[in-house]
Amino acid sequence: MSELCNSVKASNCYQEIIEHAIKYAAEKTTQGNMEETVDKLRQLNPLTHSYFRYAVAKKTWELLCKADPLLVNGYILGEHEERKVSHSESLYLVILAKRKTAAISSLINDLCQGLLTEYKRVMEERAKDLQIFMLIELIDRQDLLQRSGMLLGIHLPPAKLNTDTSIIGM
């Protein structure tokens, strides 16, 4: 895992995730015009932010899955259509792992910090005071059964991030 983690910690990794998310949002909202999409993000357009945030979460999940085979499911919390998405609200992910490790926890922390830096770069003045862009909580079966951490605040079903339906729970 360390070779992949080292490449993930490279600054261009965070930039690639953000650029992928901008491209995804552009395809959904501006017929692929990335400059217009960045403008819409900076103008705090809720629909553009919704697509952007989903793509960041999805790409982050995919990256983490490549880094650690012990990760089972990823969920994004609170990103529902009926709620307005805010550029200043944190993006919440819960990742279910067969076993939590220090290596994946460290990688998650690095990802969150790197993505915050890149998000601030894109959003310029709009995000200058933002302290947290993404919160990722790593949980295991015990946490799931006890509904601890972010799981305590779930009132609506989370959106599942993985598309591989062959993944079997623990």
90 is a domain residue: yes
41 is a domain residue: yes
Q: Which of 36, 136, 152, 49 is nearest to 95 (CA)?
A: 136
75 is a domain residue: yes
118 is a domain residue: yes
Helices (H), the chain: 2-8, 11-29, 34-42, 46-67, 102-123, 141-146
Phi/psi of residue 72, nearest 5 degrees: -105, -55
Query: For the chain, how many structural domains are there in total?
Result: 1
- Tell me the pLDDT tens digit for each residue of 98-126: 999 999 999 999 999 999 999 999 999 98
169 is a domain residue: no
pLDDT of residue 2: 45
Q: Give me the domain span that covers residue 9.
A: 2-160
Across the 170 residues of the chain, what is the mean pLDDT of every consecutive 10-residue run? Answer: 53 89 97 97 93 94 90 79 61 90 93 95 92 92 74 58 47
- Tell me the whole-structure pTM to 2 decimals: 0.82
156 is a domain residue: yes
From CA 41, how far away is CA 137, in angstroms rounded?
26
pLDDT of residue 133: 94
36 is a domain residue: yes
pLDDT of residue 58: 93
165 is a domain residue: no
- Tell me the pLDDT tens digit for each residue of 71-90: 988 888 865 544 556 666 78
From CA 4, how far away is CA 120, in angstroms rounded?
25
86 Cβ contact list (under 8 Å, min separation 6): 44, 49
